[in-house]
Chains A and B, each alone.
Chain A
Amino acid sequence: MSMSMSMNVIEAGGLGKRYGGTWALRECSLAIPAGHVAALVGPNGAGKTTLLNLAVGLAAPSAGGVTVLGGLPAGSPEALDGIAFVAQDTPVYRNLSVADMLHLTRSLNRRFDQSYARARLNELGIPLKRKAGRLSGGQQAQLALTLALARRPRLLVLDEPVAMLDPVARHDFMATVLAAMVDDGVSVVLSSHVLAELERVADYLILLSRGRVQMAGEVDDLLAGHRILTGPAAEAGNFAERPVVHASRAEAQAHLLIRAAADDPVPPGWEAHPVSLEELVLAYLREPGAAALPGPAREPSEVTR
């Protein structure tokens, strides 16, 4: 993979953003490593778009700071050069043709792989002469993605990229993104609603709820650090000393999602199951007060304002 693998693509320290009187994002501290697909998950209004806007320089922080690509200030010329952003609804200039959009992107950037872009659009069956506004939703998304990847960025940031796409278009879109990871060492940060596909695609997870980071870390580590204990409901109250994230109980039986390592002993009469990513995310989303272990294994570098 890329030689810049040891850096953090996005680092935030106490990051917050306020709109008027409301804090859309608060006390957000993250260190997303390079070479991963980091999924930003959370309910509507949790602050995902705000966080992404801060990272790409479209918004300025109200508190704290954020740096990208190993310490560059977000929104600085170097950061803009290395990051390609595809916003929600994949905006393109409706009156310009596809060829115009290619020319436009080439004019506004240092690097542009024209032959890659043309070949890709050809594969997708998107005609160069057609006005961008006349493309279907899926084609517009693919166009926006092609333009972003043709810039040869080091980080690709996608805001709910597949929300408007049908299943086939979604699959193609994600396949293109992931293939770019293999080909060019692009790191990916994307926000998503669709939990079912996360496990397949994401290997780093950030869970946002009501503007705060509930959980962040490598998916493998997060799953290894949790398990489901199933046992008698009557004994469910005995787990005061172990952090129980979410409990669901019936009269006789209870399931507890707890934070525990794989080699923690299972109490007698209880069974331990591994937890799936979807289950884990849903449980945390249902318990807004719960917060998981700090994410990054690396030391975050100093985040300057």
Chain B
Amino acid sequence: MTIDKGDKFPAGGAGGSPAGAGEGTVPRRPASPIEFRLDAASGVPTYLQLVQQVEHALRLGYLKPGDQLPKVRDVVASLAINPNTVLKAYRDLEAKGLAAGRPGQGTFVQAGLSQVTLPELAGLRKSLLGWLAAADEAGLDENGMVALFTSALRDFHERRSGPRTRGGAAGDGTEGVA
């Protein structure tokens, strides 16, 4: 494993990293293009939120291959989360082939997410609408449709990648099931 947590701040310099806010301090190295945020109430495990945010940024173009992911130390100092969680998220991304660590420098984006072409997207959308109509006819309301979809998504995920250490992708989507 080559994930590196990045340079630590030199002890004793006036540049000790501020805990919360970054306003007023000039970063001394090129920073990552993105910054993480944490939704404490979402029920989604922290490391997963980080992974999802990276994938989302890749999808939307905030991150391109070669960009640096935020340094572990910076993430920890601004979000007050366990550094092992950040390392776990970065390991996850590395396992997916999306990122790679460079010793002494940090973690960098390696590849983009596979793009789905527009005609494919249109086809998928159409079949989804068909499914929704069938579900509606069967008597499922909106929440029921969401619950069913989320549950099936989790099963699909598990079948595809084997059981993971934390029980699944999304956390709480099934709470409405009677």
Contact = CB atoms under 8 A, between A and B. Distances in A.
Whether A and B touch directly in their complex, counting CB atoms under 8 A apart, is answered as yes
Interface of A: 35-37, 113, 115-116, 119-120, 122-123, 168, 171-172, 174-176, 178-179, 181-184, 196-197, 199-203, 220-221, 223-224, 227, 230, 253, 261-263, 271-276
Contacts of A262: 163-165, 167
Interface of B: 5, 8-9, 11-14, 16-20, 38, 40, 43, 45-46, 72-73, 76-85, 151, 163-168, 171, 174, 177-178
B19 A183 contact: no
Contact of B167 (A115, A176, A197, A224): A224
Nearest to B151: A271
A262 B161 CA distance: 13
A116 B164 contact: no
Given A171-B19, A224-B167, A273-B174, 17 more contacts: A115-B12, A122-B14, A174-B80, A175-B76, A178-B81, A179-B73, A179-B77, A182-B8, A183-B9, A200-B40, A201-B81, A203-B85, A220-B166, A223-B165, A253-B178, A262-B165, A271-B151
B113 to A, nearest CB: 25
B73 A171 contact: no
Contacts of B79: 175, 200
B167 A227 contact: yes
A203 B151 CA distance: 27
A171 B171 contact: no
Contact of B76 (A182, A253, A263, A275): A182
A291 to B, nearest CB: 22
Q: 8 closest Cβ contacts across the A-B interface? A: A274-B167, A115-B12, A175-B19, A262-B163, A172-B19, A175-B80, A174-B80, A183-B8
Nearest to B85: A203
A253 B18 CA distance: 49
Contacts of A172: 19-20
Given A115-B11, A271-B177, A273-B167, A171 B82 contact: no
Nearest to A35: B84
Nearest to A224: B165
14 contacts: A115-B11, A119-B13, A172-B19, A175-B79, A175-B80, A178-B80, A178-B82, A181-B76, A182-B83, A184-B8, A203-B84, A261-B163, A271-B174, A274-B167
